[in-house]
Structure 1
Amino acid sequence: MSTLTALARAQAFAEGRAQPLATVRHVHLHERPMVLIPYAMAGEANAPLAAMAGTDRDNPVLLVVAQPRNRDHRFRFAADLAELIVEYVGSFTGTTEAVAVDRGRDVRYRFTDAPQLWVPNPGGVDFLRLFGRSTRFRSTEGEYAVPAAVPLLGRWLTFFANSAEVPGSALLLNGVQTLSSHWATGQSSAEDAQLAALMGWLDPPRGSTVFEAAAAAEDPALTPPAGPATDPAFDNHVLAPLLSVADPDVPELTRVLRGQLRPTWDLMWRALDLLRNLPVGSRVAGRWDGDRDAYSAFVQNLEEGGPPQPRRDGAVAAAARLSRLENAATRYAVQRAFDDPLVMAEHRLAGTAFEAVVTLAKADRIDDTGKRPVLRPRIMVVTAEPVRVEAGAALTSPARPSQKAKVISVTALDETKTEVLLELSGGMGRKMVAEPGSVPEVGERLLLTTLSEAYRPGGAFPDPDQTPWTHGGPPVPPSISEP
């Protein structure tokens, strides 16, 4: 937990209301998201019990497994869930747009929109990942055949679960983590993991304090768990008697499960309302473009008859994926800071960012010490904030992200002020005269930071058939390794 987050939590407790951790919304929020609330049977590995899903907050669809231990019942549930999800994800393939690539010499096409799934918590994401793994390899022929929609559902769930690991992706989001990244409560992180308790702080019922709302959320009789785990008392006293008979009373089972799931359904839509009220960050749209690229590529893979995602990555694929995730995490952290002064405040506190005023500016300075002269303006800035950068460091400003500012010198003027001399490059046009406004003027207030949105190349990895023996050697063909 960062210093400012800890301060916000303390302030939330003292004032009895949640405190903002962001001034803008850092995730794309779809106009037609699908909310999915899975429930699993206790004591059974990934045995679905029910799911409430849909895009209409007033008319959720409830799917119930009459007997979770029965294989036919589970896959009938999977087929019904596939009908909902596959229809939803396929509804965005109607319109494409051209995207220039290779510096405008070629174009590619992607869909103009993409689906977005919401689950209540990280447990919901884990459920979808496991359920996808248990369904995407199922055969549609033979003795244990399943409907054709079941393996297709598994591939889509795996696609969404994998995307949820990518920082900044908005294809599959969970409520508690998204809310917690935008607001701080006066309770512990463990308590924030319960959606009802978290919403008790963010949107308490009229006439209740946040403490009363959070306390009520701790009572499963008043507020059932958000899943996929169920309440033990509900399991023992209500669910077990209904499932212990050979022929369960499906209408009664549906009634009690609806009562367990509907409160979380309503909380999820209230959470989306809170997020929708925040202004969106300027770099969110760019990340959603990346999500649309991923969705378009996966749809193309399905249409071309590509194989299901592997059970596990090989050494090279795993290393490449880790590299992509690390780059995405770094890029997302930088973009959040550039979009949001509250997030940037953490970096200013750490001394890796500071606000300064331009006191001198020489916009027409030419550096002719190299093979050819280049435009290299210099500016002098003065700041009263801590400066923990040294000569030679590269800084950027969110106002001019394509421009680099090289630190030439750092001089302490007195106990409170520091003077920094900077040399600018990039973002000023291709001529020997800087374009108007591209060089900061005297009196302008700048935010400077070591954070950068500059392109980060991925790691260099061998081809899979060149996997070194230290990492298992080349992968064995599936026909040999798997019966």
Structure 2
Amino acid sequence: MSTLVALARAQAVTEGRAQPIATVRHLHVHDRPLVLIPLAMAGEANAPLAAMLGTSPTDRHLLVVGQPRNRDERFAFAADLAALVLPYVDSFRGTEEPVAVDRGRDVRYRYVDAPQIWVPNTGGVEFLKLLGRSTRFRRVDGDYPVHPSVPLLGRWLTFFASTSEVPGSSLLLNAVQALALHWATGQSAAEDAQLAVQLAWIVDGAREAHNVENGPVAGPDTDPDFDNHVLAPLIAASSPDLPKVLEELLLPTWEQMWKALALLRGMDAGSRVASRWDLDKDAYSGHVQGIEEGTPPQPRRDGAVAAAARLQRLETAAARYAVQRAFDDPLVMAEHRLAGTAFGATVTLAKADRIDDTGKRPVLRPRIMVVTAETVRVEPGATLTSPARPSQKAKVISVTAGPAGTEVLLELSGGMGRKLVAEPGSVPAVGEKLLLTTLSEAYRPGGALPEPEQTPWTHGGPPVAQDGPWSGQPDQQ
């Protein structure tokens, strides 16, 4: 927990209401999201009991498994779920847009929009991940065949669950995590996992949060007491009242999900949210293309090289997301100012036409002097960036304590055009206030990885060919 979040939690306790920890929204909220609330029997390994889903508050569908321990009924549930999820996913495979690549020398195409799924909590994400794993290898013929839509559903659920691990992705989101990114309540992070309580802290305050503590669970696991006294007798008797009981159980969470979406939608999106959504559209378009080209389902386990490459991508995405959030949001940047990796300053001197001719050819290298009253924890030679000019680098030449504050001499490069004369406004003017930080959005190339066939023996050696049509066998149920 960061210092400012801890302070916000303490203030929430004092004031009896959740405190904002963001000034802008850091995720994309779709105009037509698919809200999906899964429910599983407590004590059963991912045995689906019910699901409520739909794309608007008034458009909801309830799926119920009468006997969750029955294998055939579970896969019938998967087929019914596929009949609702797959049309939604496919509805975005319409118009494409061109995207320039290779510095404008080539062009590729992606879909202009992508689907977005919302679940109540991290347990819902894990439920979809396990359901995808248990269905994507199923056969549509032979012994124990399933409906042809079931393996395809499994591939899509696995895709969405995989993207949820990518920091900044908005293809599969859970409500409690999204709310915690923007508000701090006066309770622990574990208590925030209860959507109703967390939402009450934000909307109505601590008193109402206390009143809803014992309300219906948001899934995916049911309450053991509910299982023993309500659910078990209904299942044992194959009661026709089961759907009605489960609908009443899920309806409060359904309403809370749409209330959470409305709260988030009411915030202005950060300026870099759209660019991250573009990456999500790329991922969606690529997965559609892979399915159309007949690529096999995702393997149960990544090989050593694939796992290392994925870890590298996740680390890069996490670093980029942290920088983008800070650049978009002064409250997030305040954490870095407390840590000394960012400071606010005022330009006192500027030489915009300075030329460095010590190299093979002269280059434009303006210098500016800034003064700040904040603590500066950077050394000469460090490179700083300003969110106002993210493509421009500022090399620290000297740091000097003066009567008006700390004076920092900076040499600028990049973001000023290709000529020996800086473009208007590209060099900060005297009197301009700057925010300078060691954070940077600059591209960071990843480390070189061997080909899968050259996997070293310390990591299992070259991959061994698997039997069967795919690179993995069906998970046993």
Fold match (TM-score > 0.5) = yes
Maintained 8 Å contact 2:16/2:207 = no
Deviation of the 1:376 alpha carbon? 0.3
Select the residue among 433, 444, 469 that pairs with 1:456: 444
* Cα separation, 2, equivalents of 1:130 and 1:198: 26
Please give the secondary structure, in 2, of the residue aligned with 1:316. Answer: helix
- Where does residue 213 of structure 2 map in the other structure? 218
- Is 1:411 matched up with 2:400? yes
Letter in 1 for 2:342: A
- Where does residue 235 of structure 1 map in the other structure? 227
Deviation of the 1:217 alpha carbon? 2.0
Please give the secondary structure, in 2, of the residue aligned with 1:288. Answer: helix
- Is 1:423 matched up with 2:415? no
- Where does residue 461 of structure 2 map in the other structure? 473
* Cα separation, 1, equivalents of 2:52 and 2:472: 36
* Cα separation, 2, equivalents of 1:417 and 1:225: 55
Query: Cα deviation per residue 1:352-401 (whole Å; 9 max; x = unaligned)?
Result: 00000000000000011111111000000000011000000000000000
What is the identity percentage for the equivalent residue pairs of Structure 1 and Structure 2?
74
Alignment of 1:7-406 (within 5 A): 7-204=7-204, 210-219=205-214, 223-245=215-237, 248-249=238-239, 251-406=240-395
Deviation of the 1:244 alpha carbon? 2.0
Deviation of the 1:190 alpha carbon? 1.2
Query: Cα deviation per residue 1:431-456 (whole Å; 9 max; x = unaligned)?
Result: 00000000000000000000000011
Maintained 8 Å contact 2:168/2:321 = yes
- Where does residue 425 of structure 2 map in the other structure? 437
The list of structure 1 runs, each at least 4 consecutive aligned residues, that deviate by more than 3 angstroms after superposition, is 480-483
Please give the secondary structure, in 2, of the residue aligned with 1:55. Answer: strand
Maintained 8 Å contact 2:299/2:472 = no
Maintained 8 Å contact 2:92/2:115 = yes
* Cα separation, 1, equivalents of 2:6 and 2:104: 47
Deviation of the 1:59 alpha carbon? 2.6
Letter in 1 for 2:260: A
Number of matched residues?
471
Unmatched 5+ stretches in structure 1: 205-209
Letter in 1 for 2:160: F
* Cα separation, 2, equivalents of 1:371 and 1:196: 65
* Cα separation, 2, equivalents of 1:178 and 1:72: 35
Maintained 8 Å contact 2:344/2:434 = yes
* Cα separation, 2, equivalents of 1:42 and 1:10: 34
Deviation of the 1:473 alpha carbon? 0.4
Unmatched 5+ stretches in structure 2: none
Query: Cα deviation per residue 1:178-216 (whole Å; 9 max; x = unaligned)?
Result: 100100111111111110110011112xxxxx2221112
Query: Cα deviation per residue 1:216-274 (whole Å; 9 max; x = unaligned)?
Result: 2211xxx20100011111111000111123xx11x300011001101000000000000
Please give the secondary structure, in 1, of the residue aligned with 2:190. Answer: helix
Deviation of the 1:482 alpha carbon? 6.4
- Where does residue 207 of structure 1 map in the other structure? none
Maintained 8 Å contact 2:17/2:206 = no
Does 102-111 or 266-275 show the bigger shift? 102-111
Letter in 2 for 1:171: L
Deviation of the 1:17 alpha carbon? 1.4
* Cα separation, 1, equivalents of 2:39 and 2:466: 34
Deviation of the 1:168 alpha carbon? 0.2
* Cα separation, 2, equivalents of 1:56 and 1:190: 29
